[in-house]
Structure 1
Amino acid sequence: MIEPLLLAVVRVSTFVGGFALTAATGFFFERADRLFLVTGRHVFADEPSGHHPDRLELRLHTDAVDLTRTAVLSLPLYRNGMSLWRQARDSGGEVDVGVLELDRATLPLGTVLRSFTPAHLQDELEAIGLGAPLLIVGYPLGFFDTVHNLAVAREAVVASAFGVRFQGQGYFLTDARMHRGASGAPVALRDPDGDPALPWKLLGIHSARLDMRTREQGVDDTLGLNCAWYADILRTLTA
């Protein structure tokens, strides 16, 4: 059996018309029979970089045994000039998480995937200690198993007080070696007593690496720290 977490994660390719722009990471979240794609909000649109795709493509598995069998799902980002994704703000400002609801009727025939649900969210925040072991599963620099269309995992640990908004923002820190292309990846903690179909807790959504502006190039190494938005934002975005 393939690790179910790998079937919950998908590579997200952005396009303007037929022109490819960027690649990122997303994952599936299900609530009351509604299915959502979750990724970084900046994947949908990013003003500072001038990133304005008009559609996404997801490559989905269509056979639970033969993982080489896949199909592409194309998703428009606008209808009648209005954006189709949802994003949020909190007391700290913009939250770098966005969701796009998927119409199950448009999924390729035989699609095989796993979804996080509200039951996978962590309710008792104090139960997550500093240094708790995590996995961040995604597509760093677009790298993945191209034969079987599977993401790769990076080990991480919780690097700031979990449940405390780091510097007033709605995220916590992870210590992991991360790269571009992993934006939108789930930050997960193994939960052997949880849902057997997906035995993981969803703690966060990876956003970006952090560094110090005062770091002396060529002398100081990068911090190796990253921000992960608390996954409970999905309660609001999928309501």
Structure 2
Amino acid sequence: MPSRPDHHAPQEAEHVVDGAPPSEALSIPLSAEHAELQRQGAKAAARGEAQDSNPLLDAINQPDATGESERVWSDRRDAWDRGHDSQQRPTVSPARIAGGTAPIEHAQDEVLFGVTRVLTFDGRKGLTSASGFFFERDLRLFLVTSGHVFFDAATGHAPDRVEIELHTDSRDLTQLVTLSILLHRDGLSAWSQARDSAGEVDVAALEIDRTAMPADCVVRPFGPPHLPAGFDLFEVGDRLAIPGFPLGFFDTVHHLPVIRQASVASSYGVRFQGRGYFLTDARMHRGCSGSPVLARASTVAPGRVRWYLVGVHSSRMDMVTRNTVLDESLGLNCAWYADVLIPLTAGSSRELP
């Protein structure tokens, strides 16, 4: 079962994170055959194969050989192409804030410049330290983290604002600014809480007012192009990377996160115990709640994303029956499926102060 949330609090408190299945019906329904063709096209793109490798272009698979109609054949061909194109979309552009220019080469990686430390406060009183990341959609910028970072009824955690740090110089990484963001507006929560068919998901998104950010800040957000097309691109044992701020630890000179190596520990695409997350095998700590769970793209090329955003780290997993003297902890963690970010960031923009 999930144990305590992994934000870094002054005191550890036992907390069970309720799970739920990942979002459903996020795309137009497809026939089983077309869905499979899309998955095959996406896998071909992930392997670095060109679009003209579409097997439907082979003579033995064309209407003259199969006897099917031109329309049926073209629909099948296009389904494969759509899957291939889904992995070929342009990467999210870096820091398009108030006319800002792209950072230099070493500042191009989302792992370092798309992840930020999230400090929570009640007035001036510091509460917890957690992790989060930037997600851009339709020119709107969001801070994504675990829902329990913004509010956790089980532990009485109810901050009224958060602070994040932004780099302001891609060459001098010691230069940064702190941005304070209120969590309530007109008595209502300013963040959006993820939900799916089974209820709340421990993922939340807070829209950031770009006008409050410096024009030259260095931000490398994730976005829809980083979400993998389908669940069959990854298998049990595949390597993952989880950047974050365990126990609030980080490079205090350059204010960069540290990266934990991990692996897929349950069947990716299957809801573990019927809930909306999969398991990772990694040494995680408090302070990592809200970290992105990433898989490196097998082929890195211009116009291709470097990382797939596969999940959002929430909490460590453990057995309530474990003997704390005789048994080691499981070393497992739950990561909510990242596809929930699509419905979470949909809809009209909330009015920002």
> What TM-score, normalized to structure 2?
0.66
Quote the Cα distance in structure 1 between the aligned partners of 2:197 and 2:305. Answer: 32
User: Which position in structure 1 is the counterpart of 2:319?
Assistant: 212
The amino acid that maps onto 1:215 is R
Counterpart secondary structure, 1:235: helix
Contact 1:73 1:108 in 2 (8 A): no
Counterpart secondary structure, 1:6: helix
Any stretches of 5+ residues in structure 1 without a counterpart? none
The amino acid that maps onto 1:224 is G
Quote the Cα distance in structure 2 between the aligned partners of 1:196 and 1:17. Answer: 44
Question: Which segment drifts farther, 119-128 or 159-168?
Answer: 119-128
Question: Which segment drifts farther, 117-126 or 190-199?
Answer: 190-199
Greater helix share, 1 or 2? 2
Counterpart secondary structure, 1:125: coil
* Equivalent position to 1:222, from 316, 326, 329: 329
Q: Relative contact order, CA 8 A, sep 6+: which one is greater? A: 2
Question: Which segment drifts farther, 108-117 or 41-50?
Answer: 108-117
Quote the Cα distance in structure 1 between the aligned partners of 2:164 and 2:226. Answer: 23
Shift in Å, 1:94:
2.0
> Which one has a bigger Cα radius of gyration?
2
Quote the Cα distance in structure 1 between the aligned partners of 2:278 and 2:204. Answer: 17
Counterpart secondary structure, 2:232: helix
Quote the Cα distance in structure 2 between the aligned partners of 1:112 and 1:146. Answer: 17
Quote the Cα distance in structure 2 between the aligned partners of 1:177 and 1:92. Answer: 29
> Is 1:134 matched up with 2:240?
yes
User: Which position in structure 2 is the counterpart of 1:56?
Assistant: 162
> Is 1:176 matched up with 2:316?
no
User: Which position in structure 1 is the counterpart of 2:338?
Assistant: 231
User: Which position in structure 2 is the counterpart of 1:67?
Assistant: 173
Shift in Å, 1:195:
6.6
The amino acid that maps onto 2:325 is G
Shift in Å, 1:110:
1.4
User: Which position in structure 2 is the counterpart of 1:155?
Assistant: 261
Quote the Cα distance in structure 1 between the aligned partners of 2:259 and 2:118. Answer: 16
User: Which position in structure 1 is the counterpart of 2:217?
Assistant: 111
Contact 2:108 2:220 in 1 (8 A): no
Counterpart secondary structure, 2:211: helix
Shift in Å, 1:196:
5.9
Any stretches of 5+ residues in structure 2 without a counterpart? 1-105, 347-353
CA RMSD of aligned residues (A): 1.3
User: Which position in structure 2 is the counterpart of 1:145?
Assistant: 251
User: Which position in structure 2 is the counterpart of 1:202?
Assistant: 309
CA distances 1:5-55 after superposition (whole Å, capped 9, x unpaired): 110000000001111100100000001111100000001100000000000
Quote the Cα distance in structure 2 between the aligned partners of 1:197 and 1:181. Answer: 31
The amino acid that maps onto 2:124 is G
Shift in Å, 1:103:
1.1
Contact 1:194 1:200 in 2 (8 A): no
Q: After the TM superposition, which parts of structure 1 deviate over 4 Å for at least 4 consecutive aligned residues?
A: 194-198
**What is the aligned residue count?**
239
Percent of counterpart pairs with the same letter? 56
Shift in Å, 1:168:
1.0
Contact 1:96 1:229 in 2 (8 A): yes
Quote the Cα distance in structure 1 between the aligned partners of 2:276 and 2:136. Answer: 22
Contact 1:23 1:181 in 2 (8 A): yes
Contact 1:162 1:172 in 2 (8 A): yes
Shift in Å, 1:93:
3.1
Counterpart secondary structure, 1:232: helix
Contact 1:116 1:198 in 2 (8 A): no
Shift in Å, 1:85:
0.1
Shift in Å, 1:198:
5.3
The amino acid that maps onto 2:132 is G
Quote the Cα distance in structure 2 between the aligned partners of 1:194 and 1:213. Answer: 46
Counterpart secondary structure, 1:98: strand
Quote the Cα distance in structure 2 between the aligned partners of 1:20 and 1:112. Answer: 26
User: Which position in structure 2 is the counterpart of 1:187?
Assistant: 293
Question: Which segment drifts farther, 194-203 or 129-138?
Answer: 194-203
User: Which position in structure 2 is the counterpart of 1:78?
Assistant: 184
Quote the Cα distance in structure 2 between the aligned partners of 1:73 and 1:87. Answer: 21
Quote the Cα distance in structure 2 between the aligned partners of 1:2 and 1:110. Answer: 13
Quote the Cα distance in structure 1 between the aligned partners of 2:140 and 2:107. Answer: 24
